[in-house]
């Protein structure tokens, strides 16, 4: 079955630096990939969607890449701020239905002032 892996260790960086989070997947080829932000005790909030035929997508300080050869997506936050501290989840469309998403376990980002 399809498997998604995100680094379970928290990423701790200094304010102003670029944060890079990784999402790896195996056993299938998703048509699209999404990134969400989740704050403690809240529901995830959608950030970006990238399709398999897109290499890169940007939104303000956010950038997502999608490498279907490596089966990997990278999520970058440039000029990071303490307010960016949260857990970031990647999600891929389910192999048996594009109505379903398969979520990774998320990576916690801590931005030090």
Partner 1 sequence: DGGITQSPKYLFRKEGQNVTLSCEQNLNHDAMYWYRQDPGQGLRLIYYSQIVNDFQKGDIAEGYSVSREKKESFPLTVTSAQKNPTAFYLCASTRGQNQPQHFGDGTRLSIL
Residue that the structure tokens 């809240």 belong to:
42
Query: What are 41-44's contacts with CB under 8 Å, separation 24+?
Result: 44/89
Contact residue for partner 1 among 3, 17, 59, 100 (CB under 8 A): 100
Contact residue for partner 1 among 86, 88, 106, 111 (CB under 8 A): 106
Contact residue for partner 1 among 34, 73, 80, 85 (CB under 8 A): 34
Least distance in Å: CB of 42 to partner 1? 5
Q: For residue 21, state whether it binds partner 1 (rule: CB under 8 A).
A: no
Cα(94)–Cα(30) distance, rounded to whole angstroms? 7
């Amino acid at each position: 079955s399809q498997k998604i892996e995100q680094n379970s260790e928290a990423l701790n960086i200094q304010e102003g630096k670029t944060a890079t989070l990784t999402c790896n997947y195996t056993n299938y080829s998703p048509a699209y990939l999404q990134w969400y932000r989740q704050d403690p005790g809240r529901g995830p909030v959608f950030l970006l969607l990238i399709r398999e035929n897109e290499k890169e997508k940007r939104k303000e300080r956010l950038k997502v890449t999608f490498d279907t050869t490596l089966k990997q997506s990278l999520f970058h936050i440039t000029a990071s701020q303490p307010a960016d501290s949260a857990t970031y989840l990647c999600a891929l469309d389910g192999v048996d239905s594009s109505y379903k998403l398969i979520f990774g376990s998320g990576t916690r980002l801590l931005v030090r002032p």
